[in-house]
Amino acid sequence: MSSIELTCDNFESEVLRSSIPVLIDFWAPWCGPCKMIGPVIDEIANEYSGRVKVGKINVDENGSLAEQHGIASIPTLIVYKDGQMQAQKNGACPKHDIENLFKNLI
């Protein structure tokens, strides 16, 4: 399963009501570090399919979601479980650091 595009319209149903943890990648197409971790985020979406939902929020197209989450720099990764924010990490980081954000939640 690949990542899903999250928007203001589907955030509640895809994230807040999700029965499994959700890893959210706040990104933008012009962001170099975002491009760097993009393939890693896609790998995680495939490897953890059915156990973790992976969504991406383009901050240029969904500024209100970025604002609601206090996103000051990208990439920013946030993990939700049971409708609550559980973890956050700013900046590009290795795959194992990203996995550590949600491994204890699955």
User: Which residue of the set 22, 31, 74, 79 is catalytic?
Assistant: 31
* pTM for this entry: 0.96
User: Which residues span the domain enclosing 70?
Assistant: 4-105
- Look up 34 and say whether it is catalytic: yes
- Look up 31 and say whether it is catalytic: yes
Region of residue 33 (left: phi > 0; alpha: psi -120 to 50; beta: else):
alpha
Structure-block tokens of residue 36:
């760097």
Structure confidence by residue, pLDDT tens digits, 35-64: 999 999 999 999 999 999 999 999 999 999
pLDDT above 70 covers what percent of the chain?
99
Of 102, 104, 89, 87, whose CA–CA distance to 44 is shortest?
102
What domain count does the chain have? 1
- CATH number of residue 101's parent domain: 3.40.30.10
Biggest alpha carbon–alpha carbon distance for the chain = 32
User: Which residue of the set 34, 41, 77, 98 is catalytic?
Assistant: 34
Of 10, 5, 15, whose CA–CA distance to 78 is shortest?
15
